Structure 1
Amino acid sequence: METPAVQMTQTLKPTERLQQLLPELFNPQPVSGEQFLRLQLTPDLTIALALSWVEETLLISPQLVTPIPNMPPHALGLLSSKGQVFWAINLVQLLNLPMVLEPSQYYEVVVIRTLPGETDQNMGFQSTLFLGLVVPKIKGSIRLSLEDIVSPVNEVEIGLQPYLSGQLVVDGQTILVLSAEAIGTSQMSMPG
């Protein structure tokens, strides 16, 4: 003999049955916070960049980066993606962190938008400039509440200070929030 709940479930239309089984699908809860991309720069340092500045992430062969002579050590060279050519920057070296990018078969690259470029008078639109941040490990995205981001409590590496927006603690781990805008602005003076 079937229980009344089983009989009722069997008489429901498929959509109604789904609503009963998965109410959160039909009544989603509002999601709070902004999305950030987590990056592991050293074994002890995780940073976050606002996803609103991230154009794409790439896993590329180092041979696809064209070295340019007489550039700062953090400038690995030029890279292209989606018809755009931009600088590939070793973020760990730019921030003067102790760990260097270890030779690998692939680079993990976060392509960020920098400040808008020149307005093309002939085409009538403003171009966007990109910058490729080569990092040891892309950890994925995370949602963070902007209210939880506070000024750093402890001393941070001197190389991080010009790019730092703040910090927060997630699951017992301190995450430093870097400004993609500050990183992009600092690299705008590079030729190219």
Structure 2
Amino acid sequence: MVNNPDFFTGKGQDLAPDIQELQTPEGELHLRFYLPSQSEFALPATGIREVMQQAPDRITAIPNASPLLLGTINLRGQIIWVADLGQFLGEEAILNTDRSEIPVIAVEAQETILGLAVDRLGEMEWLDLEHLQLSNNVSDQIAPYVQGEWIINEESRQILRLLDHVEILRSARWVA
């Protein structure tokens, strides 16, 4: 490429007229994901340490631990707890652990890391916080962990709720 004389002279720039100009994304980057009830949530990318697919037999169950916790995993030499996020948020639907891999989102705040097991991962997406609305129909159980919601489709009433990973990590429910 450097030996190509057109590289330095600017010739050939009109070879790809269909390429669109890159647009600057608006908002902040978030990971979208689903719980077993098919409710859709998002977490800010800034609070995510790692996203992985974990084999269920690699999650070590710990006796007498909270029923919200599936067990522990080794994340690059560090032992971290893995929680069933749906159960933590009070969902009735149970996470299916009888499969080859479970999506786990490792969130971090102030050097505390927790793995959140979810049903399935969605896309990384730039979401504008200016369009975030107060959540109307959330139970008292999840209200402390929901920062707001975006209305994705008004006709189908599809909403995307933004979770606060710091509040999840600090919850007193983990010691119950």
Specify the TM-score bucket, using the shorter chain as the normaliser.
0.7 to 0.9
Structure 1 residues 22 and 91 mapped into 2: Cα distance closer, same or farther (>3 Å)?
farther
1:125-147 deviations in Å (ceiling 9; x for gaps): xxx22110000001121111010
In structure 2, the residue matched to 1:132 is 115
In structure 2, the residue matched to 1:120 is none
In structure 1, how many angstroms separate the alpha carbons of the residues matched to 2:64 and 2:11?
67
Q: Could you tell me whether the CA contact under 8 Å between 1:38 and 1:49 is conserved in 2?
A: yes
Runs (4+) of structure 1 moved beyond 6 Å?
none
Gaps of 5+ in 2: none
How far did residue 105 of structure 1 move?
2.1
In structure 2, how many angstroms separate the alpha carbons of the residues matched to 1:176 and 1:95?
12
In structure 2, the residue matched to 1:160 is 142
1:30-76 deviations in Å (ceiling 9; x for gaps): 22110110011144410011011011111111111111111111111
In structure 2, the residue matched to 1:110 is 105
- SS of residue matched to 1:13: helix
Q: Percent of aligned positions with the same letter in both sequences?
A: 24
Structure 1 residues 23 and 16 mapped into 2: Cα distance closer, same or farther (>3 Å)?
farther
Q: Could you tell me whether the CA contact under 8 Å between 2:43 and 2:165 is conserved in 1?
A: yes
Matching of residue 13 in structure 1 with residue 13 in structure 2: no
Q: Could you tell me whether the CA contact under 8 Å between 1:39 and 1:135 is conserved in 2?
A: yes
In structure 2, how many angstroms separate the alpha carbons of the residues matched to 1:69 and 1:60?
20
Name the TM-score, length of structure 2 as normaliser: 0.83
Mapping of 1:46-125 within 5 angstroms? 46-102=40-96, 103-114=98-109, 116=110
Q: Could you tell me whether the CA contact under 8 Å between 1:38 and 1:141 is conserved in 2?
A: yes
Larger Rg: 1
Structure 1 residues 130 and 60 mapped into 2: Cα distance closer, same or farther (>3 Å)?
same
Mapping of 1:145-156 within 5 angstroms? 145-153=128-136, 155-156=137-138
Matching of residue 186 in structure 1 with residue 168 in structure 2: no
Gaps of 5+ in 1: 1-11, 117-127
- SS of residue matched to 2:79: strand
CA RMSD of the aligned region, Å? 2.5
Q: Could you tell me whether the CA contact under 8 Å between 1:68 and 1:77 is conserved in 2?
A: yes
What number of residue pairs does the alignment pair up? 166
In structure 1, how many angstroms separate the alpha carbons of the residues matched to 2:60 and 2:11?
57
